[in-house]
Structure 1
Amino acid sequence: MTVVVETRSPSTSSLGPGARGRVAPTIAIVATLVLWQLAVTVGLIDAQYFPDMVSTVTQLAGLVVSSSFWLALADTLMGAALGMAWAVALGIPLGVLFGSTEWLYRAFRVPIEFLRPMPSVALIPVAVLVFGTGLEGKVFLAAFAAFWPLFVQTVYGMHDTDSVVVETARSYRVRTFDRLWRIKLPGALPFIMTGARISAAVALILAVTAELLFSQSGLGYEINLARSSGAISLMYALIIAAGFLGLLLNAVMVFIEQRVLSWHPSTRELLP
C-alpha cells in the first residue's frame, strides 16, 4: 500500500480568521501608498496641489513630537466630546419620552421632521452670533448635529419593542416604569448604541468643520493655517491625522457597543 503525503505551501488560507482579516487591509494600505507615490512621481498628479507620499508621511511623523499638534487634537476632542455629551443628555431622554408617548410624537412630528434634515453648517452664522468663535459655538454645532441620529434611533428603538411582550407585562399588572425599564429600554438599546456610534462621528465632523470656518484652535484651524501658509504637505498630514482620529473614535465606540450589548445575540458571537 502506497501512502501519499500531501504537502501545501503556506498561504493565506492556512491563516486564522483574525490573521486573514488583517492581511487584506494591510495589502490595501500598502498598495494605496505605493500608487500615491507613483502617481505624483510620474506626474499624473500635480505635486503643487497633491504632494508625494514620502513628504506627507514625514510631516505626519513629525506631528507626533509636536506639542502644538497635541494641543490642537485635545481642543478638537474637547469640542466633539462636549457636543456628544449634550446630545446624549438630551437625545436619549427625549427619544424615550417621544418613543413611548405616541400622541406626543404625533403632536411634534412636523417640527421634528423640519429640524432633523436641516444641514448643521447652515447654523454656523447663528452659532457665531450667539456663542462667538470660541469653544461654545463649536460645541453647539456638534451637539445639534449629533442629537438627531441619537434621538431618532431611540424613538425607533422604543417603537420596535415587541408589542406582545409589552401587552403580556401589562396583563400581569407590571407597573409602567418597570415596563419601560425592564422591557422597552433593553429592547431599544441596540438602536440607541447604533445612534451613539453615528452621533460620535458626526460630532467630530462638525467640530472640525467649525474649526475650519471660524474657530481659532483645533485640528481644523491648523489645517486651514497650513493651507493659507502654503505648507501643503503639512495640510495633508493634518487631514490624515484627522482621519486617524475618526477611525480611533469609531473603534472606541464599537468596543463600548459590544460590551454594553454583550447579552444581545447580534454581538455575543463577536466577543472574544
Structure 2
Amino acid sequence: MLRRVRGRQELWLGVLGVLLAFGVCEAVSRAGLVRRSYLPPASEVLTRAVELAGDQVFLDGILATLRAWALGLGLACAVAVPLGLLLGSVPVVDAATRAIVEFLRPLPSVALIPLVSLLLGSGTETKVALITYACVWPILFNTVYGLGETDPLAKDTLRAFGFGRLAVLLRVELPGTAPFIAAGIRISAAVALVLAVATEILAGFGEGLGIFIAQAGLATDGNRDVLAGVVWAGTLGLVINGVLVGAERRLFPWTPEQRAAAEQGARG
C-alpha cells in the first residue's frame, strides 16, 4: 500500500515538473525573450511532435533507431554477462585482463564514431557496434560487483553438500547477481539510445530519429522539427526506463529497496 502511495506521489510530482518546464518554455518564447526561430513555443513543438506520429516515414525512422538500439543492447548483454561472471569468479583471469579493461573503459564511444564509420560504413552495423561497445561496461561491472555481493554462507552451504563450482554459480551466484545485472541493463538502455541517435546525427544520411533531427537542423526554420524530434527521443527514453524499472520490481521483489518498502508497509 505504501509503495503504491509513493508511486502515485512520484508520478504526480513528475507530471508537475513536466508542466512547469512546459509553461516556462512557452512563456519565454511568447514573451519574446528568445526569438521564435531559435526557440518556438512549447505548444507548437508538442503539436508538431503529435503530427509526426501520423508520418509513416518518420515512424519508419523511429523503428530503425529502436532496431539498432535493441540489437546493440542485446549483443552487449550476450558479451558482458558471461564475461562478468568469468572475471568475478576466476581471480586469475580478472588480474590478467584488468589492465586491458581499464584501458578500454574510459574511451568515449562518440570518439570512436569516425573510426568505426570508416571500417563499417554509416549504416546499422556502425550503430550496433558503437552501442554494443558503450553498453558492455555498465553490465560488465555490475555483474562483477553483484558476484562480490553474493551471500558467502549460501555458497559455503552448497559446497558443504558436495555441489561443484558450476552448480554454485547457477544456484546461488547467478540468481543473487541478477538484480545487479538488471540495473546494469537499465543504465545501458539509456546509453544505447543516446548512442543510436548521436550516431545517426553525425552520419547525416540514412534513416532513423537522429537523421530526422540532423536534416531538420539544416532546413530553414527547422528548429521546431528539431525540438519535436528531441521530444520523441526523450519520450522513448522515458518509456524504456519505465518498462525496465517495472520489470525489475516484478522480477526481483527481494532486493534491499523492495524489502525496505515491504517492511515499512508492514509497520504502517
Q: When the two structures are superposed, what TM-score results if normalisation uses the length of structure 1?
A: 0.89
Residue of structure 1 equivalent to 2:232:
241
The answer to whether residue 15 in structure 2 is matched with residue 26 in structure 1 is yes
Matched residues in 1 for 2:6 and 2:103: separation? 46
1:125 and 2:114 correspond: yes
Distance change in 2, residues 1:176/1:212 (3 Å): same
Which residue of 2 is the match for residue 91 of structure 1? 80
- Structure 2 equivalent of residue 260 of structure 1: 251
User: Hey, what's the Cα distance between the residues in 1 that align with 2:7 and 2:87?
Assistant: 42
Alignment of 1:56-205 (within 5 A): 56-205=45-194
Which residue does 1:225 correspond to in 2?
215
- Give the letter for the 1:256 counterpart: A
1:48 lines up with 2:61 in the alignment = no
Higher helix share: 2
Summarize deviations over 1:152-196 as a string: whole Å, max 9, x none: 111111122223332332233221111101111111111111101
Structure 1 residues 18 and 106 mapped into 2: Cα distance closer, same or farther (>3 Å)? closer
SS in 2 for 1:108: helix
Q: Secondary structure at the match of 2:32?
A: coil
Which structure would you say has the larger Rg? 1
Please give the root-mean-square deviation of Cα atoms over the aligned residues, in Å.
1.9
Structure with more contact order per residue of length (Cα contacts < 8 Å, sep ≥ 6): 2
User: Percent same amino acid among aligned pairs?
Assistant: 37
Q: Secondary structure at the match of 2:162?
A: coil
Paired residues of 1:261 and 1:268 also in contact (CA < 8 A): no
How far apart are the structure 2 equivalents of 1:267 and 1:125?
44
CA distance change for structure 1 residues 101 and 18 in 2, over 3 Å: closer, same or farther? closer
1:70–1:106 Cα change, 3 Å: same
Deviation at 1:100, TM superposition (A): 0.5
Residue identity matched to 2:80 = G
Over residues 85-134 of structure 1, what are the superposed CA-to-partner deviations in whole Å (9 max), with x where a residue is unaligned?
10011110111111100110011000000111110011112211221111
> CA distance change for structure 1 residues 69 and 93 in 2, over 3 Å: closer, same or farther?
same
1:225 deviation in Å?
0.4
**TM-score between the two structures when normalised by the length of structure 2:** 0.90
Q: Distance in 2 between matches of 1:256 and 1:190?
A: 11
Is contact 1:211-1:221 (8 Å) kept?
Answer: yes
Partner SS for 2:206: coil
Partner Cα distance (1:114, 1:55) in 2: 46
* C-alpha contact 1:146 1:203 (8 A) present in aligned 2: yes
Check conservation: 1:84, 1:203, Cα contact below 8 A: yes
Greater Cα offset, 161-170 or 212-221: 161-170
Paired positions, count: 257
**Distance in 2, Cα, partners of 1:242 & 1:114:** 31
> Quick check: 1:98–1:104 contact (8 Å CA) kept in 2?
yes
Deviation of residue 28 (structure 1)? Answer: 2.2
Q: Tell me by how many angstroms 1:270 deviates.
A: 6.6
